[in-house]
Amino acid sequence: MVRSEGEPVLVEMHQRPGYAADNRGSFAMNAPFSGGCACGAIRYVCLRAPLAMLNCHCLDCQRSSGAPFASGFIVADSDMQVTGTPQTYSVHGNSGSLAIRSFCGRCGSPLFTRGEVNPGVMSVRFPTLDDASDFQPMLDIWTASAQPWVCLSQIIPHYPESPQV
């Protein structure tokens, strides 16, 4: 099933043809890792490595990030410990399913996205990491919506929508 625009995609992080590894030979982020919003009102700790790291070029991610795409990582809800109370809003993807976006009500930092399509997981925005040095996107999704001047990495796969899982 193809995922709807604006909803996180669940892709297992293992080597597949065309997937590039970082200079240490893997896609792994060391767990636990932490992050939060710009003002510190919302903080999180993730206890396990992400399921996937990606760039999303859907129009909703472009709008919500204020950038040509949103980079983030997918984690299990149960692996996240969040302090503070994010504000939320909901958007409908192409399938009609809801994606719920969370942000800091004080500073406005975008933080998390949860979708009806993949319950139990969330996408976390990469710029919220305290140490982003291990973040390495493993795929680009919704490239059919990518701005024509965006340069896509040729060492990771590109999907015009979300890949089937």
DSSP per-residue string spanning 106-161: TT--EEEEEESSSTTEEEEEGGGBS--TT----EEE-GGGS-TT----TTS-B-SS
Residues 6+ apart with CB under 8 A from 93: 3, 4, 5, 6, 7, 60, 99, 115, 117
pLDDT of 11 over the 50 cut:
no
Say which residue the tokens 């099933």 belong to: 1
pLDDT band at 35 (very low <50, low <70, confident <90, very high): very high
pLDDT in tens, 148-162: 999 999 999 999 988
Residue 130's pLDDT is what? Answer: 96
